[in-house]
Structure 1
């Protein structure tokens, strides 16, 4: 029987992510500059991003497991995208650090609310042989928004240089469009999981999945989380280019170029992962990351940055969707949202440390040390995954 590779649900979820990312990425490349303009230090920016990502991660774990337990996906997806949309204009209402922290955290909480359920819904629309391309296509459309959003920001700042605040209000429009698109989706209600009598479900209950999960899942997560421990926010890449002397136009332009490479290569990378294996493509991506970060440590030349950003886009395309496809091919279908939520919860906690540590290293020893450390550690993770983790086993289409 011939299986349609990209279903209607996959297309709608891809469009939802497209508009949501237009909203987010209108703001992302100007956020470091905006935060510096209202008095945030590099260290405080690192802490802000770390706290926001940790909030997203913990809520991903909780709501991923809750989605599996209740057998529902769409309520989590709808509310997650709505909170993210509302948080955009909130960021511009006050420069007080506590307000900025709260608004940014609300945005990431929305991401945590929706991610596990959305990725589980995507996984349900794929077979083990098509996971790479389904997640790759979704990532491509998501990242296309990351090209359009900064493009809008670049045009606006060309016309209104230095006036960042109106962009936060403009970003609400595509954010709202993403929420409305979700109402085109329908889901089949899954039976809720039966919990042991007397058991209570708390915010950290997803941690029990670590003990219940397959050994292959735990070995894979060790490698993924080691990488997350030094994969700090992309804010630091933008700051590195900004402090190298590039103006806002060049920085945002390079960021658009990165997302364009990411968007155009995500679907082909997913197809390649389905054909040649998820593990080889993922390891290739980590190798590119190491090369980029070592390059950022050694050079301040704009023409070299162009090559490094090209490689960074390929790294993202080879790892983001592929890692989720790898996880969903290891875990049981009934635990998909929990498995992804648990991984992203631990990942975000690691990112909290990574961003804070990167900010501290930058402040104490400078950007070169920060990037060199990440590049060297990435090579060590490649070695670990290459020798300690097997490729996921899928049924061949010919079997």
Structure 2
């Protein structure tokens, strides 16, 4: 009774706002509205990206005549750009205490890059556009993950990141499926598909503008502004970062797995379906992987994922039949589902 009277005293601010709380809820239990909307945004973005990605190595090799070494250079440059920008954009969003603007501009850069792939005639042009696309990914990823964390209670953080990754990957399920349907309609011409990929990613931009709300976990006067230095981070985070760096150094691009699939005998028209199956498994496991990490810990789930990864790459080295490829891509989806969203939650923790 005393607590209630204290809470109701004039001038005493009540931290609980039922109207705001209801407005913040999404359509799924335990998933906040911001998390749900960002999940839909990622779904649309990945529909667009995955209409292109499984076809891009084939486009480079078959249409532009680019060597496998140059394909590796393109993908290596793209992913390195994304990784470095994630660090800078995360720091910048903490300094500005504004996530939404960086999320929007990151998606905008990727949106601009995609349709221009249809106009390319040389490998260096694809390199430039992939750089822009991954630059956009690097700009948006850390602020988006921080916005998810800001919108979510600690107790359901793994579930929220798992939901987001599941939605992201669900888009990656539909993207290749759309590409599979469109390929024969355009007589295996990749360029019109690259142009059509502009539609879902444009819808994602509109979702950000109208439905994503800015969240501020901490008022600007409560903590000192962060500096771009590893010294301020905990030892556990530094160790996790070291593990991720070492793992990434030994990790190859998925583009080579797609080329490996074709080399073993998977027909070009079926490559999007292989990617569709991979992402179906990934999407199915991602939400479960996040929920499992809330129960048994992030570290155990990530270790399980890394073990699966090792077995998959060993399998690709010895695969010689198309059905081997189908099986390996399915198991590869389990690896992604166990690690992608969980690693993000691990970093936030």
State the TM-score bracket (shorter-chain normalisation). Answer: 0.7 to 0.9
- The SS at the match of 1:236 is helix
8 Å Cα contact 1:19/1:177 also seen in 2: yes
8 Å Cα contact 2:90/2:143 also seen in 1: yes
Q: Distance in 2 between matches of 1:235 and 1:111?
A: 18
Q: Distance in 1 between matches of 2:324 and 2:85?
A: 38
Greater Cα radius of gyration, structure 1 or 2? 2
Which residue of structure 2 lines up, in the alignment, with residue 18 of structure 1? 43
8 Å Cα contact 2:150/2:215 also seen in 1: no
Which residue of structure 2 lines up, in the alignment, with residue 239 of structure 1? 259
Q: Does 1:68 align with 2:122?
A: no
8 Å Cα contact 2:264/2:319 also seen in 1: no
The structure 1 residue matched to 2:278, chosen from 255, 258, 261, is: 258
Which residue of structure 1 lines up, in the alignment, with residue 307 of structure 2? 287
Q: Distance in 2 between matches of 1:241 and 1:268?
A: 28
Give the TM-score normalised by structure 1.
Answer: 0.77
Listed one character per residue, the Cα deviations across residues 130-168 of structure 1 (whole Å, up to 9, x for unaligned) are 222111110000001101111111001122232111111
Which residue of structure 2 lines up, in the alignment, with residue 95 of structure 1? 121
Which residue of structure 2 lines up, in the alignment, with residue 28 of structure 1? 53
User: Relative contact order: is structure 1 or structure 2 higher (C-alpha 8 Å, sep ≥ 6)?
Assistant: 1
Which residue of structure 1 lines up, in the alignment, with residue 184 of structure 2? 158
How far is the alpha carbon of 1:18 from its aligned partner?
0.3
How far is the alpha carbon of 1:128 from its aligned partner?
2.9
Which residue of structure 2 lines up, in the alignment, with residue 80 of structure 1? 106
- The SS at the match of 2:119 is coil
Task: Map 1:368-387; keep pairs closer than 5 Å.
Answer: none
Q: Distance in 2 between matches of 1:188 and 1:215?
A: 28
The farther-off stretch of 50-59 and 79-88 is: 50-59
Which residue of structure 2 lines up, in the alignment, with residue 369 of structure 1? none
Task: Map 1:1-399; keep pairs closer than 5 Å.
Answer: 5-36=30-61, 37-183=63-209, 184-189=211-216, 191-192=219-220, 206=228, 208=229, 210-329=230-349
Q: Distance in 1 between matches of 2:196 and 2:321?
A: 34
How far is the alpha carbon of 1:69 from its aligned partner?
0.3
The farther-off stretch of 79-88 and 14-23 is: 79-88
How far is the alpha carbon of 1:191 from its aligned partner?
4.4
Q: Distance in 2 between matches of 1:188 and 1:289?
A: 36
Number of corresponding residues: 320
Which residue of structure 2 lines up, in the alignment, with residue 385 of structure 1? none
- The SS at the match of 1:29 is coil
Residues 299 and 291 of structure 1: CA distance in aligned 2, closer, same or farther (over 3 Å): same
8 Å Cα contact 2:286/2:337 also seen in 1: yes
- The SS at the match of 2:118 is coil
Give the TM-score normalised by structure 2.
Answer: 0.87
8 Å Cα contact 2:111/2:202 also seen in 1: yes
8 Å Cα contact 2:265/2:321 also seen in 1: no
Cα RMSD, aligned residues only: 2.0
The farther-off stretch of 99-108 and 181-190 is: 181-190
Which blocks of at least 5 consecutive residues in structure 1 are unaligned? 330-399
The farther-off stretch of 273-282 and 123-132 is: 123-132
Q: Distance in 1 between matches of 2:83 and 2:298?
A: 24
How far is the alpha carbon of 1:305 from its aligned partner?
2.1
Q: Distance in 2 between matches of 1:87 and 1:173?
A: 13
